[in-house]
Amino acid sequence: MKAKAVILAFAATVSLMAHSATAATEEIRTEIKPIQFNGDINWLAFDLPNVQIRYFSQDQVAVWQHIDVNLIKQISYNVARILYKEEHKAPKLPLLEIVLEDMDGVAYKEGDFSGAKIHISAQYLNKYKLTHSPQAVYDELIGILYHEIAHAYQLDDHNYKEIGPVIEGIADVVRMKGGYVDFSSRKQGGNYDSGYKTTAFFLHWLESNHHPDLLVELNAQLDPHDKKKWSWGSFSKEKNINLDIAWSNYQKSL
């Protein structure tokens, strides 16, 4: 029997104080946004990864003080529940490393279900804080963690080279469901296979308006062991979606 919907929120840390660029202080809310899941006793036994957090940057990155093991485990739990309806189908990562380091770009994930490592750019976070509040910097970091931890848990057909846009789109839908994407940034243009937020906003629109559980079902289609090569064409056929018409309707809704 299904339990009632429960709110699974998270107390990462108590609210701390962070210095702004003007030397004034601003209180940061460090409790991540709650997500509502259907109650399922099986998820109480879900194995969360052993988490290691490392700091390899020569730059001081103030927001990093708010990142701890419990926070990473809660995001990991949330990500798994967003991507998988049934607990036994979700990967059980033995190890998840989170590394802040000096590098170009924003972040990337390496590894697989036997252990994953997420690299985050200290330079990106420090550049971001120049034009954003401490709270916005914290929220951006949590959003990055949602996206990259999604990569650690999602299926990918072992074919990133050809279907990278949908893989990145799925990770950004996870970030959206976590509450760390600004929907006011949606705009017309691009295509459903453009990747990242362009694809993610479209997939989220499809799920919200026409196809409940689309994200879970789409992730399942990317199982590399099902002997089926994923494509937008196979997705369209299996879900009975005319993608060109759906994209046009989505664009008109913006």
**Which pLDDT band, with edges at 50, 70 and 90, does 13 fall under?**
very low
Question: What type of residue sits at position 183?
Answer: F
Identify the pLDDT of residue 27: 85
How many other CB atoms are there within 10 angstroms of residue 202's CB atom?
Answer: 23
The encoded tokens of residue 167 equal: 């893989």
Q: Tell whether the model's pLDDT for residue 181 goes beyond 70.
A: yes
Q: Tell whether the model's pLDDT for residue 3 goes beyond 50.
A: no
Final residue of a structural domain among 97, 127, 153: 153
In the predicted model, what is the mean pLDDT of the chain?
91
Q: Under a CB-based contact definition with an 8 Å cutoff, are residues 175 and 147 in contact? A: yes
- Same domain for 170 and 54, yes or no, is no
Q: What is the mean pLDDT of residues 48-71?
A: 97
- Same domain for 116 and 199, yes or no, is no
Distance in angstroms (rounded) separating the CA atoms of residues 141 and 144:
5
Q: Tell whether the model's pLDDT for residue 2 goes beyond 80.
A: no
Domain encompassing residue 30: 1-153
Give the total number of structural domains in the chain: 2
Identify the pLDDT of residue 25: 52
- Same domain for 129 and 194, yes or no, is no
Distance in angstroms (rounded) separating the CA atoms of residues 2 and 118:
35
Length of the chain: 254
Final residue of a structural domain among 153, 179, 207: 153
Q: Which helix (H) or strand (E) holds 18?
A: strand 16-19
Q: Tell whether the model's pLDDT for residue 161 goes beyond 50.
A: yes
Final residue of a structural domain among 98, 121, 153: 153
- Same domain for 18 and 127, yes or no, is yes
